[in-house]
Chains A and B, each alone.
Chain A
Amino acid sequence: MLLGPPLLAALLAAAVKPYRRFVGWTNALLSLVSLGAAVVLWRHVLAGDVLTSGPVEFLRADALSTLLALCVSVVGGLAAWLGPGMGGDDGYDGAQARRFRIFGNLFTLMMLFAVVSNNVGFMWIAIEATTITSAMLIPLHVTKASVEASWKYILIGSVGIALAFGGTVLGYFDFVNLAGHREAALNWTVLMASAPRLHPQVIQLAFVFLLVGYGTKAGLAPMHTWLPDAHSEAPAPLSAMMSGVLLAVALYAVIRWKLVVNAAVGTGFTDELFTAMGLLSLAIGAFSLVVQRNYKRMLAYSSIEHTGLICVGLALGPLGMFASMLHLLNHALAKSAIFLLAGRVLHRYRTTEISGVSGLLTAMPWTGGVFAAGVLAVIGLPPFGLFISEFALFRAGFAAGRPWLMGLVLALLAVAFVSMIGHLNRMLYGAPAAGVRVGEGSAWPLVPLGLCMAALVVLGLTLPAPLRALLTRIVEIAGS
């Protein structure tokens, strides 16, 4: 039920040769079906049972999978509703819209497949497929910049994924040598069960490969160089999906393996690696934000910064895990919404330079307002959800006895805060640039984005009980 709709939508888009608007609408409706299935899954997980299906427990959805499935289906739905080809003037012609619908849906399908697959080999295949499908969409408008961005993305992404494959092979090797038999050896449940008996050095080597490999896809420094280019040159709905959930899915893969390694050699090894790479990503993201002149690249560097923050949280024990997962959800919502808003701004102003965008509040008041709310959310101001998750992260850090680390993180977040507020101010106020049409245009796409902001506010004020239960279950999985 979860995986069906995107596949159907992709096939439909492929079948309808000159693009018709009903394809877009069907796509949007099908994405709601996926979302519904994810919610049903949530209820099952809260009730305590873990759904599996297929021979040899091929598909398996526990709490961690559910959280990510939720994120992916929400953002996929947003992209489906607000993507090209829904009618109206959005700057894309029929062929481009068709291409977006085909590959975008395949992209969503592969992400969902990655998070519900029990077999780490298939998880790898799915994530490699996400690289390929998303790369096909980056140069939707063929320009020098988008070609450059897509080349960097496919090359660095493929190399990273290949290294992750190396790590998977090494992990498989370790298991086979200790356990002897090979059927179902790539199932995550089997790996977890035999984790304490795995040879420490081999699994550590495997984890290094996996962290570097999947970390490349997640945007961890120093493998992040493709990210600002790809996220800024891609069309807005694709950027939303990539920044919001592709990074999350890559982190999901890292977390799955982290759980295996922690069961094998304890948490010290992975904690050090996560702290180091997380801090590096935070630092690079924060300092790059200061000199930004392009608002889409600004948002991309902010993604790098948040990924770094999530990684630091993962190194802080069970409280940190809770905080990181909450942050993952919040970030997915906020970042995808704001990228879609950036798309609207780009469509109106025809430039991605911050200096070219001025007077957003006067030209497009509603969009400007929601955009401001989004940026404030992303830099971690209350009353939005990210403030709560960052606060939880600090609490975890102090509880784990790492005050200096938290101080450093706070300083870096402050740097990012100041830079982005400055850029936002430049964009919101002042007179609109010449030749820019004043007035909102069609306002209905703002409705789902406004809903996202509202959800973030809700998450900032309270933590709904079902969500808390889900996150607690995830922490239990990590602890066991």
Chain B
Amino acid sequence: MIGYALEVAQAALALLLAPGLVGLIRWMKARLQNRRGAPVLQPYWELRKLFRKEVIVSNNASWLFRATPFIVFASAVAVTFLVPILAVPLPFDGIGDLLVVVYLLLLGTFFLSLAGLDPGSPFGGMGASREMTVAALAEPTVALAIFALALSAGSTNLGQIVARTMTNPGAALSPGHLLAFGALFIVTLAETGRLPIDNPATHLELTMIHEAMVLEYSGRYLALIEWAAAVKLLIFFSLLGNLFVPWGVSMALTPATLAIAVASLLAKLVILAGVVAVLETRIAKLRLFRVPELLSVSFVLALLAVTSSFLLR
């Protein structure tokens, strides 16, 4: 019982924190660029505004266009139930291992691409095709990178992976882990639409990937999609944090450990947000034909991680 309550609380926490995370990254970037920047809570005000606005749907759009925001949001929330954000082990661990997580994320991307094509606008189609190019290389890399960890832990269950790393601290510095971290970090940038793959703050349609797909959305649909994107960012950050540096994740379900878990989660999120902010300030967006090269590098890193872990079992 407590386990299920905890799962729900975990999902709620993720939903609550996600827009704040996006706002934090934006604020840090602004400060690094010598601007004052919007307050960290700005995305919450934006979501509230969007929920109250009218929805305009193109005449050419079908049921897919209206259904997609709900599907994307539902898949994001479903993943928060399966990923070890606060505590390990969790009751849903039985149905939620690595492959389910990857497929749920891909489900959201898939429907979003279709929705970009649905209204028949050229920018939507362009964004959809670009997104598929990125996803084609990024998704296998996610699977491979986490699989490298799974090999040394002996199971693809994410909770087990975290538990195994906590009981075996030396393994955290093994080459398999480090290479998998590198690969997963590059893929995080790709999947969540951050520089150098996609500029989240751009207003030029020809440079957009994610934004181009959602160009036609408005009102509460747009709010759901933006929120789902923020939740995806939080999921990836918590994967990066909790799989590779698992200390702080609560193993027993007592209030003290849970408090520590929340605190460590916040700390990891802030650190990762800082890293991404600095990265976005320093590097420029890659030209589109160079993106597969970067993703190939991350794929090879993941492949090396898997072979490293395999031989060092």
A and B touch in the complex (CB under 8 A): no
